[in-house]
């Protein structure tokens, strides 16, 4: 009988480990070109997004500087005066400072039951103001009160004056 029956075990384990290492190395060499191409695509996408963000910031700054008539009208007051029959819920979502003196204000407007034709004329009226209120998101849901009516949810954007920050 052999005094060391499993003497071959460490050698077999080392050989198996070497085979696995070679297989993983071959796999890595095969997928490396794909991964490099993926990284290059993502880098190009990142450059495109960065360029678009810079262009957007420049456009917003130019719009703010060109605004001669002051900030956008107060949306809640405007809705009450122009569409008194509507039960519009107006909430500020956020303000994003675009220059030292101007911010882009986003307002969430929900109207539970509205004639969609009236909505169109209202959006036209908001768009022709100086500066305009612009629709960033629009959601229309049907209501039971009849054809041509719906529940509206809007996200509107407009320029508002911002107090300069303290030094």
Query: Which tens digits make up the pLDDT trace of 61-109?
Result: 666 666 655 666 677 787 888 887 788 888 888 888 877 777 888 889 8
Strands (E), the chain: 89-97, 102-115, 134-142, 149-161
pLDDT in tens, 31-68: 999 999 999 999 999 999 999 888 887 877 666 666 65
Torsion of CA 94, 95, 96, 98, to 10 degrees: 160
Query: In this structure, what are the phi and psi dihedrals at residue 115, rounded to the nearest 5 degrees?
Result: -75, 125
Most distant pair of Cα atoms in the chain: their distance = 104
Distance CA 92, CA 109 (A): 9
3-state helix, strand, coil split of the chain in percent (to 5) is 45, 25, 25
Return phi, psi of residue 155, to 5°.
-115, 110
With CA atoms as reference, report the closest residue to 138 among 160, 116, 159: 116
Q: Quote the percentage of the chain above a pLDDT of 70.
A: 87
pLDDT digits (tens, 9 = 90+) for 122-137: 888 888 877 778 888 9
Residue 147's pLDDT is what? 77
How many other C-beta atoms can be found within 10 angstroms of the C-beta atom of residue 145?
13
Three-state SS letters, 57-74: HHHHHHHHHHCCCCCCCC
Confidence at residue 58, expressed as pLDDT on a 0 to 100 scale: 80
CB atoms within 10 A of CB 153: 16
Residue 104's DSSP bridge partners are 96, 159
Q: Phi and psi dihedrals of 113, rounded to 5?
A: -155, 110
Alpha carbon distance 58, 99 (integer Å) = 10
Report the share of the chain in percent with pLDDT over 90.
23
Token duo for residue 28: 């890595």
| Average confidence score pLDDT of the chain | 82
């Amino acid at each position: 009988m052999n005094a060391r029956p499993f003497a071959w075990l460490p050698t077999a384990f080392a050989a198996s480990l070497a085979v696995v290492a070679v297989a993983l190395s071959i796999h890595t060499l095969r997928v490396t070109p794909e991964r490099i191409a993926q990284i290059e695509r993502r880098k190009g996408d990142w450059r495109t997004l960065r360029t678009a963000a810079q262009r957007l910031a420049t456009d917003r700054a130019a719009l703010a500087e060109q605004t001669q008539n002051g900030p956008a009208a107060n949306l809640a007051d405007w809705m009450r005066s122009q569409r008194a029959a509507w039960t519009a819920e107006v909430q500020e979502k956020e303000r994003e400072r675009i220059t030292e003196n101007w911010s882009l204000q986003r307002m969430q407007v929900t109207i539970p039951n509205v004639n969609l034709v009236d909505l169109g004329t209202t959006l036209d009226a908001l768009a022709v103001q100086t500066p305009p209120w612009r629709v960033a998101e629009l959601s229309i849901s049907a209501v039971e009160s009849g054809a041509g009516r719906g529940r509206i949810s809007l996200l509107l954007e407009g320029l508002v004056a911002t107090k300069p920050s303290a030094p």
